[in-house]
Each structure stands twice: as C-alpha cells, then as structure tokens.
Amino acid sequence: MKLVGGRETSYDAEPMAGFKRTLARTLSLVGATVFLASCSLFEKVDQPLTTFDPAGPFAERIDGLFWPVFWIATGVFVLVEGAILVAVFLFRDRDGAKEPKQLHGNAKLEVIWTVIPALILAVIAVPTVSAIFELTECDPDAMQVEVVGHQWWFEYNYPEEEIQTANVMVVPAGEEICAVMTSADVLHNFWIPALNGKRYLVPGQETVLRLQADEPGEYWGHCAEFCGLSHSLMRARVQAVEPAEYDAWVASQQQPANVPEEGSIEWDGLQVFLSRQCTQCHTVDFEDNEQGIQDNIVADGAFEGPNLTHFSTRNVFAGAVLPEEGETREQALKRWLADPPQVKPGSFMPDLALTEQEIDLLIAWLGGNQ
C-alpha cells in the first residue's frame, strides 16, 4: 500500500505511467478508427452501396444535407471533447487540492447548455424538413414504374408501356422516375443509394420514391429491411440508358417472346419449361404462333416468380445476385437451376431435380428467349 494524492490506493506502480499508457493506447485506437473511417468516406473505391457518390438530384439533395450536419456535429464534438480534455488535464486532482466549486443547480449554465443545442437543432431542422417534403412527392408528370417486392427479388412494371420485368430496372438517364411501390409478401425496403434514400415496400399499401440518374450507368441497390432468410441476397439494379436506347428497349420488351423453331435445341428447352413445374410461377408472353404454344400468364395475386419474357436481356438474375464476379452467365444459370435453395437459402423456386440435360436445354431456351 502506498499513499497517492493523500489517499490510499491498491497498486504500487507509478500511477501517471499507467495513465499515460492508457491514454496513448486510447488515442492510437481513436486515430486508427478515424483514419479507417475517413478512407471509406472520402475514397471512391469500389463501393456500389455508398451514399457518398450521388448520381442524381435526389441523392444530391440528401448528400447536400449530410455534409453541413456532419461538419456542425464535428464542430460540436471537437468543442465538447476539447473542453473535457482541458478539464481533465488542467483541473485534475492534485496533492492537497480543495474540493472544486460545485455547479449543480446553476440556472444560468443550465439555460445556456439547453438553448444552444436547441438552436443548433432548430437550424438543422429547416433544410431537413423541407428536403423530406421535397423527396416525398413525385412530380405529377414523372414517368411511373411500379416496384413490387417479393421474397427475394424486385419486380418492375411499366404501366403505360405495359412491360413487366424483374431484377433490372431500365430507365432513361436525366429523367425523373416515380417509383410506386408495394410488396407481395412481407416488408421490404427499396434502396438505390446513388439515386435516393430508402423507402419501405408495405403489403397492401403504396409508397412512392423519386429516382433520377443524371448519367447513363448501372446503379446498385439492396433491400434494406430484413425480410427473411435470403434478405442479404435481395439486390436491386437500376440501369440508366440514353433516352434513344431506352425507347429501343421499350419497343423490344413490348414484343412477345419468340417461339423457337420446332426441333431446335431451344424448342426442346421450351418443352422442359412447359412440362416441369416452371409454368406455375413464371409468366412468359408468347406471340400468336403456328406451333400452338399458349401464353403462360400467372394470374395477379397468385404466387409469382419473375416474368421470364425477354429474360436474356437482363444482365443479372436470381435477385440480381447472379452471375457472381468471375462467373459466366451460363455457369451461374447451371448452378441456379440445379439447386436454387443452395444459392438462395429459403428460395421459393424449389429444387426440381432437373437432370443435367434438362438444365442445358433450359439454358439454351433462356439464352435465346429474347
């Protein structure tokens, strides 16, 4: 036992050395954290889900709010933590020091440190509330796309163009899109960080989200609400293209699916599709054809899988998680068709125990299914 600062302590080591060591450790830990955080904040490395790389006016509106609030908060942090450090070092307990003056119940101080934060919050509230209102309502002239959440993929309907697609939402660059959203099963949340914030998809209700990409490009998104086993595999992709390219895409999607030539490998693939349980969930819109292939339309309200008309025009599938990097489309399709729940746990596309030959035929048909 040794007396330190006039009081008994239970350790003999030099107390200041221990304190300095702890302080040095804490500071280096804080420094490393700040360094790592700033790396990811300011470096535009390959981060498809970063909110710090806005690509359109709505995401820019959010970004424009974030930075002033961030710097105000940083200022408050530095002032408050600085004051604490000054107090810790300047007014620390010394040998024979008297008890410091107590401030409890000082009305003037209480008012000051209540009013200052209230004022800061009031100032931040003005642009925040106006941004919330601005981002909540679509321009009435904006083009509409209906977004329907499913476990675990997004369906996109273009009501005016009469197009139904999945996983890839194709939009014209430089134009506002009004996403009118709902869910077919549980709560989902549609989030394309480069284009806007998050918005819930609620069964039986409609929510809207304004989207706009100024430049052509691919913008990744993700379901942002835990929605079951494969929530982490429920991705979204917005593909913004030049207006002329968009018009061409619309015209091609409005065409019915091709019926392959009888006797071809694609034809055999189509027979696999028609004879296994695929038709129960997947719509394919066939043209009037001599071969007598009927449209396979899954009724609204029935359990739906993605509409497979023009499947081959989508560069991602299976909740936009396939193909994975370094994998060809064919390899990914093989893996997917062989055992869907293996790729996406809980997948409602069952393992149909397709033979390797059936899988090859289906891929041939899907590949040519423009």
d(CA 262, CA 236): 36
Which pair of structure tokens corresponds to residue 288? 């009037």
Tell me the one-letter amino acid at 77: F
Instruction: Please identify, among the stretches 37-45, 85-93, 218-226, 289-297, the one whose residues bind ligand CUA according to the rule CB under 6 A.
Output: 218-226
By CB under 6 A, tell whether 227 contacts ligand CUA.
yes
Q: Is 340 in the site for ligand CUA (CB under 6 A)?
A: no
Q: How far is the CB of 235 from ligand CUA (least distance, A)?
A: 10
Decide: is 209 part of the binding site for ligand CUA (CB under 6 A). Answer: no
Binding piece for ligand CUA, criterion CB under 6 A, among 35-43, 221-229, 273-281, 286-294: 221-229
Among 223, 272, 278, 337, binds ligand CUA (CB under 6 A): 223
Residue 179 as a binder of ligand CUA (CB under 6 A): the answer is no
Stretch that binds ligand CUA, among 48-56, 207-215, 224-232, 329-337 (CB under 6 A): 224-232
CB of 187 vs ligand CUA, minimal distance in Å:
8
User: Which residues touch 108 (CB under 8 Å, ≥6 apart)?
Assistant: none
Toward ligand CUA, which CB reaches closer, 225 or 266?
Answer: 225
Q: Report, in Å, the least distance between residue 48 CB and ligand CUA.
A: 17
Using DSSP, how many helices (H) and how many strands (E) does the chain show? 8, 12
Answer left, alpha or beta for residue 105, where phi above 0 means left and psi between -120 and 50 means alpha: left
Query: Could you tell me which of 56, 32, 90 has the C-alpha nearest to residue 196?
Result: 56
- Give yes or no for residue 149 binding ligand CUA (CB under 6 A): yes
Q: Is 155 among the residues that bind ligand CUA (CB under 6 A)?
A: no
Residues 269/364, Cβ–Cβ less than 8 Å: yes
What is the DSSP pairing of strand 7-9 with strand 207-211? Answer: unpaired
Which of 256, 260, 258, 280 has its CA nearest to residue 269?
260
231 binds ligand CUA, rule: CB under 6 A: yes
- Nearest CA among 187, 162, 160, 191 for reference residue 51: 191
Q: Is 335 a residue that touches ligand CUA (CB under 6 A)?
A: no
Q: How far apart are CA 123 and CA 130, in angstroms?
A: 12
Of the listed pieces 79-87, 222-230, 283-291, 358-366, which binds ligand CUA according to CB under 6 A? 222-230
Asked if 282 is part of the footprint of ligand CUA (rule: CB under 6 A), the reply reads: no
Query: Alpha-carbon dihedral of residues 35, 36, 38, 43, nearest 10 degrees?
Result: 130
Q: Is 188 in the site for ligand CUA (CB under 6 A)?
A: yes
Tell me which residues touch ligand CUA (CB under 6 A).
149, 152, 188, 223, 225-227, 231, 234
